[in-house]
Structure 1
Amino acid sequence: MKTSRVRESLLAGARGLYLASASLAGSITLFVFAVVSLVLIPLGIGLFTTPSVLLAVRRFATLHRVQAGEWADVGIAVPYRREPARPRPGLAGQVARCTRMLKDPATWRDLQWLLAHMTFGTVLALIPPVLVLYMLYGWVLACGVWKPIYEAGGGEWYAFIHVTSQSAAFAAAALGTALFIVSLYVNRPLLRAHFLLSRALLAPTATMRERELALRVGRLEETRHDAVDSSAAELRRIERDLHDGAQARLVAMGMDLGTIEAIVEKDPAKAKEMIAKARQNSGEALTELRDLVRGIHPPVLAERGLGDAVRALALRLPVATDVDVELPGRADASVEAAAYFAVSEVLTNAVKYAHADRVWVDVHHADGMLRIAVTDDGKGGAVIGAGTGLSGVERRLGTFDGVLAVSSPVGGPTMVTMEIPCELS
C-alpha cells in the first residue's frame, strides 16, 4: 500500500511537471496567437488565420480533456457546435466559418481556460513536483553541498532554515522528507484540483447545454419530417410496384384461368398452352413479390443481422468487395434497416457512378456508435446533394441522429463514413 502511494505521488509529480512546462508553453503560445489573430480580423487577415488558430486551441483543449479523464478521472464534456456537413466554399465559406466559430460560446471559454491554465492552473500543477524535487535538494544539501556555498559567501536558505552548518543541513533534509511525506497525501488531490479548475471553464454550461439540446431537437424534427416524407414516398413506390407488377400478373392469370375453364374440353391443346403461360406468370409474380419484400426488409437482415446482410449485398456486386465486420451484438431493427439501405445505396453509387474495380466495407461498433466506412477505388468526385443518392442516405441516417461524411477527391479514392449512435444487444 505504501509503495503504491509513493508511486502515485511520483507519477502525479511528473504529470504536474509536464502540465507546468510543456502544457504551459502551449497555452501561452496559443493564447498569444489567438489574440493577435482576433486583432487582425478587421484587416481581413484574421478571417483566414482565426479559424486555424481556434481549431488548434480546440485540439489542445481536447487533449487536456483526455488527460483529465485518464490522469485524474475528471470527465470534461466537449461543448463545440457541430460543423455543417456541407460548408460553403471560397471566401464566403471562410467568412462564415470564422463567424460561426466566434459565435460559439465554447470558443471564448477555451480562451478563458488558456488564461487560467497559464496562471492558477500552473501553480496547482507545480506544487506536486516541487514537493518531490525540494526533498531531493534538502538531501543534496545534507550531503555537504551546503559548505562550499556557505564558504563562497552564500547564505543558503531551505524554506525557513538558514543552512550554515551540517546540523542545519540535516534539518533541511528532515524538512524535505516531511514535505515528501505530505506529498504522498496531497499530490493526487492537487492534480485533480488542477483538472477540476479546467472543467469549471471547459465544460458546457447549463445555457450551452440547453442551446445545444434545442439545436438537436430542431435537427431531429427536420429529419423526422424527412423520414415521414420518405416513408410516404416508399409506400407509393410499393403500391405502384404491386399495381404494375405482381397485381397485373395475378389479374392476367385469373383471366387466363377463366379462358382455360371455357376451352379445356373444346381445345385441350390451347388450354395446355395457356396453363403453361399461367404457370410462368405465377413464377414471375412470386419473384416480383420476393424482390418487393427484400426491398422493404431483407429476410437475411432479420434472420442473420447487419453483418451477414452486408456480406450478402457484397456477393451480388459485379466488383470485388472486401467486407470486414466486427459487431459483438445486434442493434435495433430500425437502426439495422437504416444502416443496410444506406450501405446498399453507397455500394450502388460505387458501381454505377464511380466505376470502381474494388470496394472495401468496414462495419464495427465502438463507444456507443455504429461506424460504417465504404471505400472504393473509383473516379471520385462524389458530393452530397449532387444527385447520387447521398442526400437520401444523409436524411435516412439523420432520423437516428446519425451523420454522413464523404471524402472523394477527383480521381479517387472515395471514402463514405456513416455513424449512428446506438447500443448493441
Structure 2
Amino acid sequence: MDSRDWIRDGLRSVLAGLIVIPLAALNLPLFALSVATLILGVVPGLGLLLFPLVTLLVRARADLARRLGAQSGVTISRPYRPMPDGARLGLWRYYKWILTDPATWRDFAWLVPGAVIGIVLGALTIAVPLYGLEGILLIPLWIWLGTGWYGYGAIWPFDTVGDAFLSLPQGALILSIGLAAAPHLRRFDALFTRLLLAPTRNAELRLRVSQLTVTRADAVDAQAAELRRIERDLHDGAQVRLVSLGMTIGLAEEMVEADPVGARKLLAEARETSTAALADLRHVVRGIHPPVLAERGLDGAVRALALALPIPVTVETALPGRLDTPVESAAYFVVAEALANVTRHSFARTVSVELWHTGSILVMRIIDDGLGGADPAGGTGLRGIERRLAAFDGTMSLSSPPGGPTVVTMELPCASFSPKTTPSSGTG
C-alpha cells in the first residue's frame, strides 16, 4: 500500500471516530427510553403508541451504525421483517409486527454494549494520533515559550531542553501507530456491530426466500412477456406471409394450364414471400437467442451490437472464457437493452462498453457522454434490465447526473468459464 493511502485511511478513521463517539453516547438515552416505553406498555393504549415510535428511533440509529460499518468494509444487512399487508391500517397489527420481530430485540440488546465499545474504540482512535501530534507540535512549543518542565512518552519529566525535543521522534512514531491502527479499530467496532445487528441465519433465509419469491415472479412475468412478443412477431410477420404464400401457390395451381404466364408471375411472387417469411423467422430466432452469441460468445456478440449502432462504440473485454449459456444470454440482452436506451434517449456522441470478470462476478459497464438525468422510474428500459438481472441475483447501479456522463454498472454472479482466446479491445 502507498504511504499516502494508509495516511488517508487513518485520517478518515479518526474523523469517523469523532462521529462515532456522540452517536455511541446516544445509545444510552435510547436504551433508557426503550425500557421506559416497555414499562409503560402495560398501560392500555400508551404502549401501542409509544413503543413503535421509540423502535423507529432505535432502528434509525442502528441503520447509521450499519452505514458506518460499510465505510469500514464490513457489510451489515438490515434484518427486519417486511411489513405485512394492511399493517398500516391498524395500530395493533403495527405494534404486533414490531414486537414479534426478533431484530427489534437484537437492536435493544446492542444499545448498551454498542455504546461502550463505540465510545472506547472511538476514544482510542482519536486519542493515540492526538497524543502523537502533541509530541510533534506542542511540547517543543511549550519548552520554547518557557512554560516549565514537562514529560512525554518515555521521558518523565524533562530535565533538559534536549530531553524535550526527544518528544519529536516519539510523537512521530506514536502518530504513525495511531493512524495505522485507526482503520483496524473502526473495523473491529463494525465487526462487533455486525455480531448483533446483522441478520441471523434464519433471518437471512427468510429474506432470501422473500427475495427469490419476488425475482421468481419477475422472471415469470418477463418470460410471459417474451412469449407474447414471440407470438405477436410470428402472428404479425411470418404467419401472415405464410398464409399469403399458400394462397398465392393455390392461385398459381389454378392458372398453370389456362394462363401459364400469370402462374409464373404468381410463383415468382410466392418465392419473394417465402424469402420475406424466412427473414421474419430469422428475426424471431435472433430475439430468442442470437446466432452470433452462440457462435462467437459474449465478446463477439457485443461487438456485433456495437457495429449496428449509429454512434461510435468502444468495446473492451477481459473475459477468461465462455460463460454458462443462461448467464451469457442474460448478459447479452441487458447490454443490448442498455445500448438501446443510449441511442433512444441520451443524445450521446460516443459510448464505451467494458466487460470483465472479478472473483465470481461478471461486470458490465456502459458509459455515454449524453445528456444524463437517466432514472429507472422514468421508463421501462432500466426497470427491465433490473428484472432480468434480478432473476440471476444480479444488480444494477446507475450514475447519471444532469449533463452526463451516464454510467450503468451491471453485475451478474458467474463462476464458471470454458477456455477462450486472450482478452481483446477495439472499437465497434
TM-score, scaled relative to structure 2:
0.60
Q: Give the deviation of 1:374 after TM superposition.
A: 1.0
* Matching residue of 2:382: 390
2:76 counterpart of 1:79 = yes
The reply on whether 1:368 has 2:360 as its aligned counterpart is yes
The residue type equivalent to 1:255 in the other structure is M
How far, CA to CA, are the matches of 2:254 and 2:229 in structure 1? 37
Contact 1:362 1:374 in 2 (8 A): yes
Distance 1:316 1:371 in 2: 22
Contact 1:354 1:378 in 2 (8 A): yes
SS in 1 for 2:376: coil
Q: Does 1:379 align with 2:379?
A: no
Report the Cα distance in structure 2 between the residues aligned to 1:250 and 1:307, rounded to whole angstroms: 36
Partner of 1:31 in structure 2? Answer: 21
Q: Give 1:303 shift.
A: 2.3
CA distance in 2, matches of 1:38, 1:384: 41
Residue 404 of structure 2 aligns to a residue in which SS? coil
Secondary structure of 1:248's counterpart equals: helix
Is 1:232 matched with 2:212? no
Superposition deviation, residue 254 in structure 1: 1.6
Whole-angstrom distance in 2 between the partners of 1:105 and 1:377 = 47
1:299–1:104 CA distance, 2 compared to 1 (3 A): farther
- CA displacement at 1:203 relative to structure 2: 4.1
Correspondence 1:21-420 to 2 at 5 A:
26-27=16-17, 29-33=19-23, 35=25, 58=66, 61-62=69-70, 78-81=75-78, 112=113, 115-116=116-117, 119=120, 199=191, 201-203=193-195, 208-420=200-412
CA positional deviation for 1:210: 2.4
Inter-CA distance 37–347: structure 2 relative to 1 (3 Å threshold): farther
Q: Structure 1 residues 405-414 or 193-202, which shifts more?
A: 193-202
Shift of 1:35: 3.7
Q: What amino acid is aligned across from residue 382 of structure 1 in structure 2?
A: A
TM-score by length of 1: 0.61
Q: Distance in 2 between matches of 1:320 and 1:110?
A: 56
Q: In structure 2, do the counterparts of structure 1 residues 199 and 285 end up closer, same or farther at CA, with 3 Å as the change threshold?
A: same
**2:377 alignment partner, SS class:** coil
Aligned 8 A contact 1:227 1:395 in 2: yes
Q: State the 1:29 CA deviation.
A: 4.7
Whichever residue aligns with residue 419 of structure 1, its letter is E
RMSD of aligned Cα (Å): 4.4
Q: Secondary structure at the match of 2:200?
A: helix
Map Cα deviations across residues 207-248 of structure 1 (whole Å, 9 max, x no partner). 533223312221221111111122112112211211221121
Aligned residues: 310
Residue 332 (structure 1) shift: 2.1
- Alpha-carbon offset, residue 61 of structure 1: 3.7
User: How far 1:193 sits from its partner (Å)?
Assistant: 12
Report the identity percentage. 44
**In structure 2, do the counterparts of structure 1 residues 267 and 223 end up closer, same or farther at CA, with 3 Å as the change threshold?**
same
Secondary structure in 2 matching 1:305? helix
Q: Distance in 1 between matches of 2:79 and 2:307?
A: 37
Post-superposition Cα deviations, 1:254-283, rounded to whole Å, max 9, x if no partner, equal 221122222223222212211221111111
Distance in 2 of aligned mates of 1:324 and 1:63: 30
Q: 1:79 to 1:60 in 2, by over 3 A?
A: closer
User: Quick one: distance in 2 between partners of 1:267 and 1:82?
Assistant: 81
Decide which moves more: 113-122 or 212-221. Answer: 113-122
Q: Aligned partner of 1:31: which letter?
A: I
- Counterpart of 1:92 in structure 2 is none
CA distance in 2, matches of 1:298, 1:38: 61
Which secondary structure state, in structure 1, belongs to the residue aligned with residue 396 of structure 2? strand
Q: Secondary structure at the match of 1:389?
A: helix
SS of 1:365's partner is strand
Q: Return 5+ residue gaps in structure 2 as ranges.
A: 1-5, 34-55, 81-102, 125-153, 156-183, 418-428
Shift of 1:249: 0.9
Give the drift of 1:201: 4.9
Secondary structure at the aligned position of 2:378 is classed as coil
Give, in whole Å, the separation in 2 of the partners of 1:51 and 1:378. 37
Q: Structure 1: 5+ residue runs without aligned partners? A: 1-14, 66-76, 84-101, 124-156, 159-191
- The verdict on how the C-alpha distance between 1:103 and 1:321 changes in structure 2, with shifts beyond 3 A counting, is farther
